[in-house]
Amino acid sequence: MPRPALQTRHLIIIGILALAFSTAFIARSQPLEYGFELHEFDPYFNYRATEYLVENGMEAYYAWDDDLSWYPDGRDVSAGSQVILHQTAAAAYLLFGGGSTLYDFTIMFPVVIGSLAVIVMFALVRVIGGTTAGLISAMLMAVSLPIILRGMAGWFKSEPLGLFYGLLGAYLLLSGLKSGNRPVAAAKLFAGGLIISFSLSAWGGSQFFILPVGIFIMCLPFLRRDHSFLLWAVPLFSISLLSTSLLFERPGADFVFGLGGVAIIGPTVFLVACHVVRHIGGEARVRRNCALLLIGIMVGGIGAVAAASETSLVATPSFRYLNAVNPFLTATNALTESVSEHQSATIQQSFLFHSVLMIFAGIGVWLLLDRRAGEFHRIRPEMVAFALIVGMFGVYISSSFIRLEVFGSVAVIILSSLGISVLARRLMTDHSKSRAPVPVRAGMVAGIAILLVMPLVVPDGNTIQAARGPPSILNGASVYDTVTDDWLDAYEWVRTSTPPDAVVASWWDYGYWTQTLGERASIADNATTDSERIRDIAVMFLSAPDDAHARLQNLHADYIMIFVMGERLFTGAEPVYVLGGGGDESKKQWFMRIAGEDVSKYTLPDGISGTDYFWDNTILGKMMPFTPIIYLEPNTNAQFTEYIPGTIPVYAKDIKYPADGSGPLRLAYASPSFEDDTEQIVFGIFIYEVNDSYTPVD
């Protein structure tokens, strides 16, 4: 008789997991409604690197110096990119690609990996708090907005795979520590270290998994009594993680012999030292002695790391990783601050991302810390510690960059699923007379379910709508949902109408598109490996035309491209334009800050509209084929010839460097929506040829 019940229970679990997988798959597939394209910028490089690996093999991939990137310096791909992402995708394509193209396969790759990650989340939380909590976590992760936004169709970037490997490695670590079978535990712990090293190679952000893991290891001597097991189990995990990381050029030795390695080696040494202290000092004083040892190691370690960092004996993480643990650094680096995904989440965004889960996560923390919560007495103390540590670090780290909200989501999901599972168990299984009647308690459970579902269905700003949008190549990463082929047409022109050895200058945002879609070399791209090169480009854009021409030649540029967003208004015989929406006209303030220029010199008091100096004396102003003619007060439609606070500039079409001109640049290409005066939204991609025969006027 017990066997059918067991089978039924397993079928229910499988059914719920299938529902979570399907829900995650559908939610992440929404961009396909607009077109089957890669999303954002980095996926285009990752696709090109994966294509190179598939076509040329592993040996050629590791020797590849990409000459289309950061011209003329090139890029050592294996040393400066997410190798495991490319290798995993290439292996999966060779195994499961079937008749699909690699391009289509990479579009769907993050959808499949992101959907599989909900199964891994189930396994992780199940190890911590039981099957019910695991199933709840899988459903919550399936509809988590921050995780969906960084794992949609076309998002062939590092986060989906890095998160998948990171969660899987954490599951294997906890499962290995929990296993009573020593050979199985050893296999899981070794595999856990191996998989976490894969996560580090797939996504640099996975380094933030290391911090909670290190603190968790330091807590183990205080939470478990089987110290002889820990004495070999934890070092096995640490050796596996660090030795495998050394096999990759990124993060590689810099991680192992840097602060990341310290975060693992230090706690492991502390755990072994506690075992020694236990034998020397006796059981009665072991906690006190270990605590004193911990304080001594922390104080001495912080001082030693600080001194070693100053003398370069220990490699320190790059600025953006330091920024994540010290948010006050953001304002000190204009390039980091200019990236939209490096902005800090606002209060509104945090509530949109996590919504009612914030409440249930708080309940989960309260119940974990409440000794009267009998449901949690079955959870091992080290599992409680892991959940609380991950929760603390996840929320803190995610406060720095909006892209790191995925860590906040993982933390909130783990804590919420534990809290919800206990609430549901209390309401549905306690039949004592002191409790409310069953219908009342069933209604309370239904109320909890409604609260969890509301963020998905509330008409304004629900998470499903927030995750819906066209791929960036179809709307220029602008604020408009309009789908256009302007960018695809522009790069088709670059690929077919420029010499094969042509070099294209642009703002670094478009570098990967230039290399992959245009098949031409770019001077800077989204790797942002050379901040000085990006600064040089910013200075060039703000320079006087003759000076900019000389700078373009020094940069070896044959063509230069800009992107201008706007709306065409039909108010008379000739259309007029309002600019703004996500093109270079909206990014130019960052050009100024990165170049170290005074923003007020180039923009009006609104901080956006260009001054006369900008339009008349910078190459960027000259390249934008528009000229301000009036300033409009939008509420009254009053018109002014000069800027007045509260007005917006209105522009007329004005090509300053025509194709047949003799200036420093010649217009070689303008996108169809600019040429067609019937279109309302203008996706203005303008490509100018650098005039090599131009002679500056003294």
Q: What is the pLDDT of residues 35-44, one digit of tens each?
A: 999 999 999 9
Give the domain extent around 577: 473-690
Give 400's pLDDT tier (boundaries 50, 70, 90). low
| Shared domain check, 632 and 533 | yes
| Shared domain check, 39 and 147 | yes
| Shared domain check, 494 and 619 | yes
Taking the CA of residue 445 as centre, how many other CA atoms within 13 Å lie in the half-sphere pointing to its CB?
16
Whether residue 184 is contained in a domain is answered as no
Whether residue 458 is contained in a domain is answered as yes
Q: Which residues pair with 670 in a beta bridge?
A: 686
Instruction: Tell me which of 464, 497, 531 is where a domain ends.
Output: 464
Q: Above pLDDT 70, what percent of the chain?
A: 81
pLDDT of residue 258: 81
| Shared domain check, 381 and 415 | yes
What is the rounded average pLDDT of the residues 667-694?
91
| Shared domain check, 647 and 519 | yes
Length of the chain in residues, anyone? 698
- Distances in whole angstroms, Cα of residue 98 to Cα of each of 90, 93, 95: 13, 8, 8
Whether residue 163 is contained in a domain is answered as no
Q: Which residues pair with 579 in a beta bridge?
A: 566
| Shared domain check, 482 and 460 | no
| Shared domain check, 403 and 444 | yes
Q: What is the residue whose two structure tokens read 């270079």?
A: 584
Q: Which residues pair with 650 in a beta bridge?
A: 630
| Shared domain check, 515 and 433 | no
Instruction: Tell me which of 464, 495, 510 is where a domain ends.
Output: 464
Instruction: Tell me which of 464, 497, 527 is where a domain ends.
Output: 464
Q: What contacts 216, CB < 8 A, 6 or more positions away? A: 382, 385, 386, 389
| Shared domain check, 394 and 481 | no
Report the number of distinct structural domains present in the chain.
Answer: 3
What is the rounded average pLDDT of the residues 645-650?
92
Give 326's pLDDT tier (boundaries 50, 70, 90). low
Which of 224-228, 300-304, 510-514, 562-566 shows the lowest per-residue confidence on average (mean pLDDT)? 300-304
Whether residue 237 is contained in a domain is answered as no
Whether residue 295 is contained in a domain is answered as no
What is the rounded average pLDDT of the residues 431-435?
51
| Shared domain check, 452 and 483 | no
| Shared domain check, 524 and 386 | no
Whether residue 253 is contained in a domain is answered as no
Whether residue 630 is contained in a domain is answered as yes
pLDDT of residue 145: 86
| Shared domain check, 415 and 478 | no
Query: Has residue 604 got a pLDDT over 60?
Result: yes
pLDDT of residue 574: 83
Which of 396-405, 510-519, 534-543, 677-686 shows the lowest per-residue confidence on average (mean pLDDT)? 396-405
Whether residue 354 is contained in a domain is answered as yes
Task: Report the b/e string of 1-26 with b at 16+ CB within 10 A.
Answer: eeeeeeeeeeeebeebbeebbebbbe
Q: Does the N-terminal peptide bond of residue 72 adopt cis geometry, omega within 30 degrees of 0?
A: yes
Q: What is the pLDDT of residues 189-211, one digit of tens each?
A: 999 999 999 999 998 888 877 88
